[in-house]
Amino acid sequence: MQTEFTKYEGAGNDFILIDNRDGVFTPDAAVIARLCDRHFGIGADGLMTLARNAEIDCSMRYYNADGSEGEMCGNGARCFALFAHHLGIGGETKYFDAADGLHTARICRSKGSAGEIELGMTAVREIRTGEGWWFLNTGVPHYVEFVDDLESVDVIGRGRIIRRDTARFPQGTNVNFVQVTGNGTIRVRTYERGVENETLACGTGATAAAIVTNFVLQRRTAHFAVSVPGGELAVRFSHEPETQTYTDICLTGPARRVFGGVFDSENF
């Protein structure tokens, strides 16, 4: 069977998008892992399907490069919204759900294959802290640790160990190292669940890092410029210091269609 796909990237976090409104594509972990393989497949950090939804514009499902399902992906969801836009689905603001809940995505700018998208995130859950680390769920689980020099961190080596530390993080966790570079500016490097290499950006990770920075430094700053290896993201939110609640969280950043093609399922 021939399946059409489109490749997108958001700040260098790259994805295979499949329009599955006809429901013909059946996600299978081994097939997804093969499609995401950079030598034997198309190559990507993850794969997303777009399905019909009777109440809202559409539904997104996200799979990591190893074929495991993730509840949400920030960079992926911006790419997903632009993909929906390119397919002519919905208005300027898209309404869709992911496994973590409902999302809105406003297409702030769209020109040719590229766009700027403001994505509404679900409310933060499970903030907790340990010695020198923080943990929270911004759609998917995130570990956050502050460092003085981001360049010298062994992101893959340390990330691999922390990611699978199920004694502390029962569902596993994405791992973020954060350097504060100014008031409202941070740099982040992430090692994700379900991907073997360091990704160039992680949207839910950038969001988690901005929230923890606010939480730890007890600042009123609720606007963060987040620099990641693959580009620049922005995170803003409403913060209630008395109860430490974070709501109306928005992640803004780029998304771009890179190329499209067809694969033959029999080969995967």
Ligand X SMILES: N[C@H](CCC[C@H](N)C(=O)O)C(=O)O
- Chain residues binding ligand X by CB under 6 A are 13, 64, 70, 73-76, 140, 174, 192-194, 199, 202-205
Catalytic residue among 73, 79, 108, 250: 73
Determine how many CB atoms are found less than 10 A away from the CB of residue 112: 7
| Least distance in angstroms from the C-beta of 132 to ligand X | 22
- Provide CB contacts within 8 A for 69, sequence distance 6+: 27, 61, 62, 63, 99
User: Which CB, 31 or 209, lies closer to ligand X?
Assistant: 209
Distance (Å, whole) CA 93 – CA 136: 27
Catalytic residue among 36, 58, 79, 202: 202
The answer to whether 203 is a known ligand-binding residue is: yes
- Provide CB contacts within 8 A for 152, sequence distance 6+: none
The answer to whether 158 is a known ligand-binding residue is: no
| Least distance in angstroms from the C-beta of 205 to ligand X | 6
| Least distance in angstroms from the C-beta of 148 to ligand X | 25
Active site residue 202: yes
The answer to whether 70 is a known ligand-binding residue is: no
User: Which CB, 18 or 73, lies closer to ligand X?
Assistant: 73
Closest CA to 123 of 144, 143, 101, 145: 101
- Provide CB contacts within 8 A for 68, sequence distance 6+: 29, 193, 194
The answer to whether 75 is a known ligand-binding residue is: yes
Residue 33 φ then ψ, to 5°: -60, -40
Closest CA to 196 of 36, 72, 49: 36
The answer to whether 256 is a known ligand-binding residue is: no
User: Which CB, 77 or 107, lies closer to ligand X?
Assistant: 77
| Least distance in angstroms from the C-beta of 137 to ligand X | 10
Q: Which residue is nearest to ligand X (CB)?
A: 70
Active site residue 73: yes
Distance (Å, whole) CA 85 – CA 6: 13
Alpha helices in 66-167 (DSSP H): 74-86, 155-163
User: Where is the binding site for substrate, in residues?
Assistant: 13, 64, 74-75, 174, 192-193, 203-204
User: Where is the binding site, in residues?
Assistant: 13, 64, 74-75, 174, 192-193, 203-204
Q: Name the residues annotated as catalytic.
A: 73, 202
